[in-house]
Structure 1
Amino acid sequence: MTSDLEIPVRGDATFDRAIDVLRGQRLAVLTGAGLSTDSGIPDYRGEGAPVRTPMTFQAFLASEAARKRYWAGSHLGWRAFGTARPNTGHRALAELESAGIVNGLVTQNVDGLHRKAGSRRVVELHGGMDRVLCLTCGQQFAREAIADRLSALNPGLEVEGAIRANPDGDVDVEDAASLVIPECTVCGGILKPDVVFFGEFVPVEVFEAAASIVRGSDVLLVAGSSLVVNSGMRLIELARRRRMPIVVVNRGITKGDSRAAVKVDAGTSETLAAFAEALIA
């Protein structure tokens, strides 16, 4: 594989130790928001990350005003978020899977960029912003269809100029009292992006699919996650109990550093590209 980025880690002792751990093994991969920053999506906790209060599932259910604020911000953010494209790191992981090195990929991201990059066995722990779910009947809708309905119902909502979407695809909106939210066309129920809000649990079957990828692999590679979210640490603990080596790639400290066989403190895109170049014969 060739990369369009300069690789600063090649020949570094830590990088070489990571390659020694990864070479010849079947990899389970866990990715977080740090992998998508090179695609223009900010992360939650890195340097310069916005300070914000996320929408909780309880507030979304309890308050129509909260739903209006959320949908206004999510709609505006989607126009920027939905056009993001995979970066070198996403493409490197897809190539590693095609080469039979990556057994499967688990992501905490909701941006869908792994699927866009060509990864096939992907478990989205926290769902995907490109889908919308009815909370009453369970009907799923394509996000673009709901976005078109929102635009038609609220012609004054669109704004001109660049919008910086948050990591989960929304922007902060102060006043959305006049917003009209589309209802489910099947049952008239409440619509919600098919993502796990704060206060929700990862569905059991989704976590089991993620755990299955880890159990079927030899090494767990973590890329771009601070591992603050419990779902990621549960997979780290699963790997540790199975005595699987763990390789962490992230700028800055993560909760998994003490459990890692190797920690590479570097950017994820360039490091994953270098991994692919070294591991694909």
Structure 2
Amino acid sequence: MMKIEVSALHVYPVKSLPGISLQSARLEPTGLAGDRQWMVVDDNGRFVSQRNTPAMALMGCELGDNQLVLHAPDHPPLALPLEPSTGQHAAISVWRDKWQALDAGDDAARWISGAIGQGRALRLVRADAARPRTQSQPDRYGPHTTTHFADGAPYLVAGADSLDRLNDSLSGQAGGAVDMRRFRPNIVVTGLPAFEEHATGRLQGPGYDLELRYPCQRCVITTIDPDTAIADPAREPFRTLATLNPMPGNPRAPAFGENAILVSGAGATIRVGDMLTALPRKT
């Protein structure tokens, strides 16, 4: 039997900003506690990401003492309460999903516009627990699955062995190896053979059960160096990954990691070092 272990946990408090590595996290139906509860939007309420604003890679965030603290080069930190007492609702969208979020206020808007706006008026919004985001893909992730500001499913699971296989293929190329930050997973596991997560149906840990539902299609964010915010001119590792592990039915697009939902264990704690049992995907 394979020995599968949780080797890393990451939350991304603000969508498309760098993540925070944790030793443990609470599992919720909407994802790891604290994950993607904030988001940057333009003046039309559309989400802003590294796809069109690579400078987001150079920002930072931290959680502590009931507040979110944002950092950006040449700007003082911005501290925001995790549970704002007031806030105007704003119409926002993530891909095809449209719903309401809480606006973080004018001070936050001025800060985020100055940090990464590049002449655009941007705003920061927070997920409203009273107005959950209903999934636009119920056939893929289940009719009762809700998320905050993740692109698709509440969880993204990635295999460390898959990254090793990719880096073996990148060996000798100008850009060299890449690290897991390019792929922004929530849960990283070791022990699954490379890309075997796509054939895995469930990962069961102590008191929780995750169901892996669909490969995660990758985009140009994978080409952005998280230390410089500069995209690789050869579009690596996107190009190599598309050859090595293409999306089902779309060979031009690469897959990396599996979108997942929580089947049971809401409120349980997942920890680095947890040993997992893998169940094959039903066909």
Higher relative contact order (CA 8 A, sep 6+): 1
Larger Cα-atom Rg = 1
TM above 0.5, one fold? no
Q: TM-score, normalised by structure 2?
A: 0.24
More strand by share: 2
More helix by share: 1
Q: TM-score, normalised by structure 1?
A: 0.24
